[in-house]
Structure 1
Amino acid sequence: MLRGFATQTFFAADHEAAKKWYTALTGIPPYFERPGYAEFRLGDYQHELGIIDSKYAPAQAGKGPGGAITYWHVDNIQAGLEKLLGLGATVFEPVTERGHGFVTASVVDPFGNILGIMYNPHYVEVLNANNK
């Protein structure tokens, strides 16, 4: 039933500032925009990250970090964390060794969203197998 990651969405009260922040983080502008919505395609599989004006958030959405954390694969966890912190994010969970080569960290972006990063050897295996 679950076939793959489609779109991760983050809400931001200052949509324009969030769009600029994620453009600085990713190094690319959104590929798709509508008023109050910007979408980036990222990484090896062009996964989507949507930035949505928080006025469109579901009524039951909380006002702070919480819920599930999506981890984006990075090749260098420390360099990724340093870049995020340099852009104004704050540590949610520091670099954590999970065993068997898995390493995670997460931050809260300046807009209150949790962004996870991870070195994931399984991701690398799949990527290498698909590139043969």
Structure 2
Amino acid sequence: MFNAVRTVMTFAEAPEASARWWGELLDTPVKVDVSDNGAVYAWVEIGGVEVGFHPADDERNPRGGSPVVYWGVDDIDQVRERLLAAGCEHHRGPLTIEPGRRIAQVRDPFGTIVGIEGP
């Protein structure tokens, strides 16, 4: 029924600024579309997945309504430290959820909570 994840949508007050921050951190190009009404949708591609930043809208896309996406990493401690040094804030963890499997969450400078998972 489901195949691979294709797009992860996050809702941000500043979609283009959010995408550019992640694009710079991950050294990946940022793509931007502007609708006829001036709304900006921006995205980066990470590991074959489009990570999109859409304008926040409390009526249609309430805060807290989005899932936390966990990115697989080789070294959770190293990646977490890099994210914190780049401007993210600690949110949760690192936690061992089963032997050999750990998770952590950070909040990026734009309020999006991002998960990382690894050994």
TM over 0.5: yes
Matches within 5 A, 1:5-84: 5-30=5-30, 32-35=31-34, 36-43=40-47, 46-54=48-56, 57=57, 59-63=59-63, 65=64, 67-84=66-83
Distance in 2 separating the partners of 1:97 and 1:72: 16
Structure 2 residue ranges without an equivalent (≥5): 35-39
Higher helix share: 1
Aligned residue for 1:103? 102
Q: How many residues align?
A: 114
One-letter code of the match for 2:46?
Answer: L
The one-letter code sitting in structure 2 at the alignment partner of 1:70 is V
For structure 1, the 5+ residue unaligned runs are 121-132
* Aligned residues with identical type, % of pairs: 30
Distance 1:76 1:24 in 2: 20
* 2: CA distance, partners of 1:88 / 1:38: 20
Could you tell me the TM-score, scaled by structure 2's length?
0.82
Distance 1:66 1:107, change over 3 A: farther
RMSD, matched Cα: 1.9
The runs of 4+ residues in structure 1 deviating greater than 6 Å are none
